[in-house]
């Protein structure tokens, strides 16, 4: 009788992780899936963890959720790319201050045969207008993410209310959205980083880039310690400072995907 339980117990002990006594403080960061997927963090995370002597737990979700995590105090710092939402976040007292640390840009991709004829346009609004006119398939993130908010802002500036069968909101991350657009031969708005990572695998092509209005600034915000006194605000502050350091700028600018620079650091 006791034999069973002895066996089970030893099995249990086998898998209880030998909890490495890691004394480093933990900073929780909420960021977007596209940021994590860009691969930038694979490069900079080991560096800032070592430089600052901290461990960073990165939770990658949609922008909306990342900000919500910040509002709820479930993370110590938020790094997203949705400026109006970030400013509102700080305004409402959830965050200490917004620091713009880098930007990348959005591009529009679509089917090689470009039925809407947007290739090479330098005006995002114009491109969207043509897509709406021919009712070409357009795949939207539809998930309140930075990319989604950007997309909605562009439609608004163009004075168009996208509706109809041709406009599909998928409620998914950027990678999935690209896959869906690829499968349905549709147009979509994507951040350059994700596009560079997917390019080789996608049947779509880059059609509009460098246009005015497609810049995508990233802001980092420390969650307000007054609201949540036990957030690791000290370490969060140091992390934010790190992002503004020369070392960080060097790493960020030096990061390449397929030989192309992805992010442009911003001096504060």
Partner 1 sequence: MDSLSAATSESFRLLFSGDADLWVIIFTSFSVSIRAIMIAAPLAFIVAFLMAHLRYPGRRTMIAGFSAMQSIPAVVVGLTVYLVLSRSGPLGDLKLLFTHSAMITGQVLLAFPLLVAISHSTFQAADQRVWETAVTLGAKPYRAFFTLLHEIRFGLIAAFIAAFGRIIAEVGCSMMVGGNILGYTRNIPTAIALETSKGEFSQAIALGIVLLSMALFLNGLLAFFQGRGVMSS
17 is a contact residue toward partner 1 (CB under 8 A): yes
Give me the count of residues in the chain: 268
Helix H or strand E encompassing 241: helix 233-243
Say whether residue 256 binds partner 1 (CB under 8 A).
no
Select the residue interacting with partner 1 from 85, 87, 209, 228 (CB under 8 A).
228
Least separation, in Å, of the C-beta of 72 and partner 1?
A: 4
Least distance to partner 1, CB of residue 79, Å: 15
Q: Is 53 helix (H, G, I), strand (E, B) or coil?
A: coil
CB of 215 to partner 1, least distance (A): 24
Site map for partner 1, 69-88, x if CB under 8 A? Answer: --xxxx--------------
- By CB under 8 A, tell whether 159 contacts partner 1: no
Rounded Cα gap, residues 169 and 160, in angstroms: 16
| Three-class SS of 154-210 | HHHHCCCCCCCCCEEECCCCHHHHHHHHHHHCCEEEEEHHHHHHHHHHCCCEEEECC
Q: Near partner 1 by CB under 8 A, which window of 52-60, 144-152, 205-213, 244-252? A: 52-60
Q: How many whole angstroms separate alpha carbon 2 and alpha carbon 17?
A: 25
What's the CA gap between 148 and 45, in Å, rounded? 26
Chain positions 120 to 149 lying near partner 1, rule: CB under 8 A, are none
- Out of 28, 83, 99, 148, the only residue in the binding site for partner 1 (CB under 8 A) is 28
- Contact pick of 129, 175, 213, 237 for partner 1 (by CB under 8 A): 175
Torsion, CA 26, CA 248, CA 64, CA 221, rounded to 10: 70
Binding footprint of partner 1 on the chain (CB under 8 A): 1, 4, 8, 11-12, 15-17, 28, 33, 37, 57-61, 71-74, 172-173, 175-176, 178-179, 197-198, 201, 228, 230-231
């Amino acid at each position: 009788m006791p034999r069973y339980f002895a066996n089970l117990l030893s099995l249990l002990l086998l898998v209880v992780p030998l909890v490495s006594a890691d004394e480093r403080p933990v900073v929780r960061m909420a960021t977007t899936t596209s940021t994590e997927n860009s691969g930038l963090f694979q490069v900079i995370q080991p560096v800032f963890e070592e430089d600052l002597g901290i461990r960073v737990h990165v939770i990658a979700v949609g922008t909306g959720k990342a900000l919500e995590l910040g509002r709820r105090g479930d993370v110590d710092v938020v790094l997203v790319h949705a400026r109006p939402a970030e400013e509102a976040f700080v305004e409402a007292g959830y965050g200490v201050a917004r620091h713009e640390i880098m930007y990348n840009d959005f591009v529009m991709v679509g089917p090689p045969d470009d039925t809407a004829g947007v290739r090479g346009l330098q005006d995002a609004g114009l491109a969207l207008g043509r897509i709406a006119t021919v009712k070409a398939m357009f795949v939207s993130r539809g998930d309140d993410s930075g990319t989604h908010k950007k997309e909605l802002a562009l439609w608004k500036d163009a004075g168009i209310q996208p509706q109809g069968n041709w406009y599909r909101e998928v409620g998914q991350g950027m990678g999935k959205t690209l896959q869906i657009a690829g499968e349905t031969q549709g147009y979509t708005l994507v951040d350059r980083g994700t596009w560079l990572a997917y390019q080789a695998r996608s049947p779509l092509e880059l059609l509009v880039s460098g246009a005015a209005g497609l810049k995508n600034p990233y802001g980092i915000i420390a969650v307000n310690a007054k609201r949540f006194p036990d957030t690791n605000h000290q370490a969060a502050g140091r992390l934010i400072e790190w992002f503004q350091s020369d070392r960080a700028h060097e790493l960020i600018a030096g990061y390449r995907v397929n030989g192309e620079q992805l992010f442009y650091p911003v001096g504060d």
